[in-house]
Amino acid sequence: MATSPWRKSKRSQTGGQCVQIRTDATLSHVEVADTKHGLGSSLKVTPGTWVGFIQGLKQ
């Protein structure tokens, strides 16, 4: 299944200290990877879980 390219926040700093995300073509999940551990290992969550996580960070 096709996925979008990895994206990272514009606020990320250099030095490998960022998290990148991508989605699949059907938007059924969001894939999250920590760049300091490489993009081969990732966590898949539902879009609703991802939105809840981001909203929690903004509080």
Question: Model confidence over 15-40: pLDDT tens digits?
Answer: 667 888 999 888 899 998 887 766 67
What is the mean pLDDT of the segment spanning 43-54?
A: 93
Report the C-alpha gap between 7 and 19 in whole angstroms: 9
Question: pTM for the full model?
Answer: 0.72
Going along the chain, which residue ranges are E strands? Answer: 7-8, 19-23, 30-34, 43-45
